Each structure stands twice: as C-alpha cells, then as structure tokens.
Structure 1
Amino acid sequence: MFIILLKFSTNKENVKDFMKAHGDWLQRGFDEGVFILAGRILPEEGGSILAHNISRDALTRLINEDPFVKNNVVVAEILETLPAIADDRLKFLLRK
C-alpha cells in the first residue's frame, strides 16, 4: 500500500489551470482500482492519495502522469507501507 503526498510547489498559483485534468487523472486511478482515498492536506498544503494493487514502479509512472506533477503545481512523495493490523472494514488492505 502507498501513501502519496502531493505538496504544493512554486507553481501553486496555476492550480486552477490544471484542476479539471487532475480530477480526470484521479478518477482514472479510482476506475483502475488503484486509488482508494484522496483528499486535501490541510491547511492548503496540497493533497494525499492512498493507493494499492500496483507496483511502486507502475505507481511512479502513474503519478508522473498527473497534470499537477507534470506542470510543477505539486511535488509528489511516495511512501510505501505494509499494513499489519486493520479494522475489519480495511482487512482487504492486508497482505495474505
């Protein structure tokens, strides 16, 4: 499982120019079953995504396709985590 931090960069003022394309990119990640949660980092520092069912290399390629990343609106940091304990509702995230 991965936690992706999308922290605003020096080109933050152009966020509105790429918001629609970023939303479309996010939806693609959800449609492909990779993204399971996305939201803002408060206070207005960027966004975060939880991802699974993908290799780190494939995720890196996917993140690099994000219009926010491509246009330096955000800088992405990928954190890989190996969940060991989960609430029953999240057991699907545990490796078997």
Structure 2
Amino acid sequence: MFIISLSYKKDISEVEKFIDPHIQFLDKYYSEKKFIFSGRKNPRTGGIILARNVNRDSLQEIIKQDPFYQNEIADYEITEVNPTKYDEDFKVFIEK
C-alpha cells in the first residue's frame, strides 16, 4: 500500500485548469481498484492518494499518466506502508 502526497508547485489558478483531466485519471484507477481514496490537503497545497494492488515501479508509471505530473503542476512523494493495525472496516482494503 502506498501514500502518494502531491505538493502543488504552481498557483491554484493553474491547478484548476487541470482538475477535470486529473479527476478522469483518478477515476480510471478507482475503477481498476488501485486507488482507495484521494483528496485535497487543507490548506490547499496539494493532495493525497492512497493506492493498493501495485508495486512501486508500476505506481511510478501510473503517476506519469496524471495530468498534474504531465503539466508539472505537482511534485509527488511516494511512501510505502504496510498496515499492521487498522479498524476492522478497513480490512477489506488490506486483504486480497
């Protein structure tokens, strides 16, 4: 499982220009069961994506498809995490 932290490196007005294609990108990987959740940071300096069912190399290839990456809107930090304790309701995301 991976936490992807996006940090905007351009003004919000530039971010907004690519929101719709970014949402389409997200939707593609939700439909493939690779993304669990995504959302904006508060304050709005970037976003977070939680990913599963991928390895680091394939995740890096997925990120290259994000319009935010392609248009140099955000930097990406990838953190791998192995959940060892979690709410019972979260188990569905841990077990395959």
Match of 1:35 in 2: 35
The residue type equivalent to 1:86 in the other structure is Y
Q: Can you give the 5+ residue segments of structure 1 that lack an aligned partner in the other structure?
A: none
* Structure-1 separation of matches of 2:91 and 2:69: 31
TM-score by length of 1: 0.91
Say which SS state the counterpart of residue 49 (structure 1) adopts.
Answer: strand
Q: What does 1:70-89 correspond to in 2, within 5 Å?
A: 70-89=70-89
The TM-score, its normalising length taken from structure 2, stands at 0.91
Percent pairwise identity? 38
Aligned residues: 96
CA RMSD for the aligned pairs?
A: 1.6
Q: What is the CA–CA distance in structure 1 between the aligned matches of 2:94 and 2:34, rounded to whole Å?
A: 15
In structure 2, C-alpha distance between the alignment counterparts of 1:70 and 1:12, rounded to whole Å: 16
Which stretches in structure 2 are left out of the alignment for 5+ residues? none
